[in-house]
Structure 1
């Protein structure tokens, strides 16, 4: 690996770690970078997944105060992300990547749409929950978080956008609290998927790329937490929508 290639991967890791902490979709920076530099798709996907774990740790740590206010939600949804991440990682090892590639733009689009309509639905949910707390709603959110974990374990691009869309639409909580929860759930998915890859496909992991992305994303996670926690909800929601639209364009129009 040349010096300029190493610097490019490191810089992509910083950007991805920052974006992941604030909104998600950081993989749309690092994964294409690895492909551009000649890494095989499967190697790039798994190496990218493992490399982004340190950024997830630093980003989640930056939102620790918000997570303290969401402990019941943490206990409820972490198992869903854990199960989903394992399933998604195993699917990556047995299915062709084209299976999810075709629906990735659709999933991102759904996530962006949920973020747009989230405030209206949240207000309605708040009125409904003032009088009743339905078991059906809790089960629905759990299943959706688990399915997002499956997607995240398989590919993961814009996993954060999809998660924040689901959480902000179906839960009544401050957006910053939900953003912290999103960071933790995405970290769980990436961590368990990385564990599966390391155990089952060590020979297809490029550890040099992992180290560079890991160090860069660790720094980016710190930056993202400091910036993201200071953003008003309207600004944060706008960033989520813009990044989501760019992601869809990058994976369809400019693919």
Structure 2
């Protein structure tokens, strides 16, 4: 079967409104596979998959909601793996998770009621912001390790509640870099081991991205065939990423993702 006939067959199965060329599906499958591996090793996978969805012709808001739904299942494994570090953190999860739930819902709502033109205008800067967060990710982790002061914590303090709420709104609206923002907020207000804070960060981002994915699934224009394809590939990439993590330098990988994100944002600004 030649590519033209294969493209026609895919169109008849998936629908004319879905990018169905073999080339488009290969681009998205490869991007999701790479993103899953990157998330397992260094983080920043959304900076690969979101531009890929734009590249195959999806409008930016549709690409964003499809990307959120596609990558969310891959975040579950991290929380399962951190279950030991999550012990005795139920109070933190309930309080900050509730704040994250409300903020993520609000961010998702704002995205879907905003004009497409507004999101198109600011998305290059959101990508640059996410790239900047990825660059300082390691410094944030180092700062958390060296800034422990032995003070008690107040989970109801305005600082941590407002910080978590704003991070969640951002996560529901766009999402790339949410984990780094959340890690910084938790490190600023909580006095604990980095691994436990990282585990808590994983649960909170799981909640925020989860409510966003659910909201988009009900009210957004999710391209489900592409979301399912990318979900499977990102799961596979995450599994492979864990297996090869010890062989790669996360700093180099992180830098390559940042360079790619900068190139994409510049191209979007000029288009």
TM-score range, shorter chain: 0.7 to 0.9
Give the structure 1 partner of residue 212 of structure 2: 193
Give the structure 1 partner of residue 195 of structure 2: 176
Displacement of 1:152: 1.0
Displacement of 1:239: 7.1
Q: Deviations over 1:191-250 (max 9, x none)?
A: 11111112223xx2211111011112223344456677x89xxx87x5797478547634
Alignment of structure 1 residues 114-133 onto 2, 5 Å: 115-116=138-139, 119-120=142-143, 122-124=145-147, 126-127=148-149, 130=150, 132-133=151-152
Relative to structure 1, the CA distance from residue 186 to residue 145 in structure 2 (aligned partners, 3 Å threshold; closer, same or farther) is same
Alignment of structure 1 residues 89-104 onto 2, 5 Å: 89-95=108-114, 96-98=118-120, 100-101=122-123, 103-104=125-126
Give the structure 2 partner of residue 211 of structure 1: 228
- Counterpart check, 1:47 vs 2:60: no
Q: Deviations over 1:93-116 (max 9, x none)?
A: 112315753652346536754752
Q: Is the 8 A contact 1:111 1:164 kept in 2?
A: no
Q: Which has the larger radius of gyration?
A: 2
Q: Is the 8 A contact 2:35 2:44 kept in 1?
A: yes
Q: Provide the alpha-carbon RMSD of the alignment.
A: 3.2
Larger deviation, residues 181-190 vs 58-67: 58-67
Q: Is the 8 A contact 1:25 1:161 kept in 2?
A: no
Give the structure 2 partner of residue 35 of structure 1: 54
- Counterpart check, 1:57 vs 2:80: no
Displacement of 1:138: 4.4
**More RCO (CA 8 Å, sep 6+):** 1
Give the structure 2 partner of residue 25 of structure 1: 44
Relative to structure 1, the CA distance from residue 34 to residue 87 in structure 2 (aligned partners, 3 Å threshold; closer, same or farther) is same
Whole-Å separation in 2 of the counterparts to 1:8 and 1:54: 20
Whole-Å separation in 2 of the counterparts to 1:224 and 1:176: 20
- Counterpart check, 1:5 vs 2:24: yes
Give the structure 1 partner of residue 262 of structure 2: 249
Q: TM-score, normalised by structure 1?
A: 0.78
Aligned residues: 244
Displacement of 1:51: 0.6
Q: TM-score, normalised by structure 2?
A: 0.74
Gaps of 5+ in 1: none
Give 1:14's match in structure 2, choosing from 5, 18, 33: 33
Whole-Å separation in 2 of the counterparts to 1:170 and 1:241: 26
Gaps of 5+ in 2: 1-19
